[in-house]
Amino acid sequence: MRFLTPLSAVLLMLLVAACSTQRVEIIHIDTVIYPSDEFEDVDEMIANPFFSVSQLPFEAPNFDVIRDEDFLPAFEEAMNQQIQEIEAITNSAAEPTFENTLVAMEESGQLMTRVHRVFFNMTSANTNETIQQIQAEIAPRLAAHSDDIYLNSALFERVDSLYEIRDELDLDDESRQLLTETHRDFVRAGARLSDEEQARMRDINERISSLTTEFQEKLLAMTRERAVVVDDEALLDGLSPDRIAAAREAAEERGHEGNYLLSITNTTRQPILTSLNNRDLRQRVWEASAYRGIGEDDGIDTRPIILELAELRAERSELLGYPNYATYALEPQTAQNPGRVLEMLEGLIPPVIANTEQEAEQIEEMMREDGIENDLRPWDWEYYAEKVRQAKYDIDDDEVRPYFELNRVLEDGVFYTMERLYGITFEERYDLPVYHPDVRVFDVFDEDGEQLGLFYGDFFERDSKRGGAWMNSFVVQSHLLDQKPVVVNVLNISRPAEGEPALISFDNVTTLFHEMGHAVHGLFSDVTYPSLAGTSVPRDFVEFPSTFEEDWAIHPEVLENYAIHHETGEQIPSDLLEKIIAAREFNQGFDTHEYMGATMVDMEWHLLGSDGVPDDVIAHEEAALEKYNLDHEAVPPRYRSTYFAHIFSGGYEANYYAYIWSEILAADAFAYMEERGGLTRENGDHYRQTILSRGGSRDAMDLYLDFRGQEPDVDHLLRRRGLEPAE
């Protein structure tokens, strides 16, 4: 069922920068919904759109009729209905069978699925004060609801009895996987704890749920709080006219008439630093980003939340018999334990540091040529790295961006690649309601003309959206429930000025391909049980399909198809194309260094015991970086603790390593495809059949072995990042 996992994953798993790794589905969609005994207002039930199945294609949410005030009563009734359904399973006089227990659990929660999938997309993609208030209220209640199910001793007895005789049940592989993982989820939730321990577990879960919600809300508020207002256009020297116009419009929207507003993205580094010629303004922008969440100038302070979360997570793990949260969190992942993760990461650190130092030398040399004798600082790196890149590869970002217009990248790049690999096509439609005017909707068709599902794209940044990029599902595929997928990709591309084309950076190009990797993972799902569908795979496997798709963005055939000048219609010159591909390896020491820094900060927070949580967040972070020799003054971690959304509100706690772990698989898989002919339907179909269609129906590494025929080779990752393979 995986409907409400430990730590209130109904909340957490729908807030990630990418997809769920726990099974959080509560799915059974009937055309008639009967109110629970507690529900008294029948008129309200009729008026609430969540109380009936959407009649739109594939049960897509009807955003034309969904109101903010519908969410809370829908959640309340959904919890009541879910408990009644669970009680019916638990109190059955019949002996437990796979059908009357596991399948019945899969079919439960018909209302909960509809409301939580819409609501938690809104909390991330288009929130407001009302939604935030509802989230703050409902999060601890959902945690308690989760515990009411997973700590139900009679229900666990039924699951446990079936698990004990699993070899005698004649189950197919997918059904056996469902039973195994459901049983594991109950045990990891505390089903075997004493009554006193379970009571403490409930308290911890509710508090963690409230804290992660609070952290998310503060992050959104910090985006507004830390935006940099510039009162002199001369200070924006280096920005293109369209970017200056966009900054002027952004300032006007915030009430800063005649000024310019530079928004802060979710990472420590800020993309705009590559272009700003004024060093003082670069420093302002960088510090606005890096000093978020520490209460500077009476601003927002997230440090108390971090310390309490670290302690509660450690205590929770200790209750379950684990020495720390990292050991608990990694047990169901492909990595299995922190030792394997640290061994892999520490093996990468020496070549990363060596490359970082080489890059630093080139950057410092460029600074001296520019008359800057100061030490290299974080706000210098991106700016002078861009100058080195231009000198080394003769590439200017302002020269490149006109060839990357959003619509063309999407249609002639991303969609083109999906058709070449998998035979699928996307056709935009304009008749379905959306939750914001920016959102676009596409029918997705297989080669034989059968519709696979719906794809929503929400590409532009706004104040109501959290930073980063991710994929969510409004509906997941399931043969049991006869449902097809409805997925959404959410990005944060800078909005162009009114009437101007959306010219995007190559980083944004790569992100479009990355998120489509998550989308097709959901769209190609071909499993029976919703809990095992699509992206319901381990956290350190879920980023593999998305990272794999990134490399097609620089495939010569693909680039030539979408890299077209938005004004002249001319294809990107071959020499510029070659430079873009060659420049891909540039600055990879910095990129990997800052990622490794954030990863080690994450691990060190979650290797703590409950009695070892420090008092000083910043000191602990600095000690973690120093411990692994990643404390480079000019290369801070990609996320500092105070705004590390992945691990303090996004479900990636002790799992941020998953990106590079998955990248090992992605790099190896892409190299394997290149050996077999590259961008071909044969390759795409094989990958679709062995990986993308299987969801979590089998062990993740077994799926990879089915696809590849052998374990992945880490040297492909080092080559992908331009780092020398280890001896």
DSSP string computed for 31-59? S--PPPTT---HHHHHH-GGGS---SGGG
Tokens describing residue 695? 């969801």
Burial pattern 324-351, b for ≥16 Cβ within 10 A else e, equals: bbbbbbbebbbbeebeebbebbeebbeb
By the 8 A CB rule, do 121 and 488 touch? Answer: yes
By the 8 A CB rule, do 571 and 564 touch? Answer: yes
Number of DSSP helices (H) and strands (E) in the chain, helices first: 29, 7
Residue among 317, 411, 237, 283 nearest 654 (CA): 317
Cα–Cα distances in Å, from 322 out to 426, 583, 607? 47, 45, 11
CA distance 422 to 327: 38
Cα–Cα distances in Å, from 413 out to 362, 420, 425, 693? 33, 10, 12, 23
Residue 18: CB partners within 8 Å, gap ≥ 6? 469, 470, 471, 515, 518, 535, 542, 543, 546
Give the three-state DSSP class for 469: coil
CA distance 405 to 409: 6
Helix (H) / strand (E) element for 579: namely helix 574-582
User: 108: buried, middle or exposed (CB in 10 Å: 19+, 13-18, 0-12)?
Assistant: buried
Tokens describing residue 140? 């601890």
DSSP string computed for 116-130? HHHHHHHHHHS--HH
Is the torsion defined by CA of 117, 120, 126, 128 positive or negative?
positive
Q: Considering the candidates 515, 543, 550, 604, report the single residue annotated as catalytic.
A: 515
By the 8 A CB rule, do 492 and 36 touch? Answer: no
Burial pattern 418-432, b for ≥16 Cβ within 10 A else e, equals: bbbbbebbbeeeeeb
Residue among 379, 451, 444, 388 nearest 418 (CA): 444
The residues facing 455 across adjacent strands are 442, 487
Give the three-state DSSP class for 97: coil
CA distance 262 to 82: 46
Query: What is the 8-class DSSP label of residue 663?
Result: H
578 given a catalytic annotation? no
Tokens describing residue 720? 């992908």
CA distance 667 to 714: 8
In angstroms, how far is the first alpha carbon of the chain from the final one?
Answer: 46
CA distance 505 to 396: 11
Residues with a catalytic annotation lie at 515
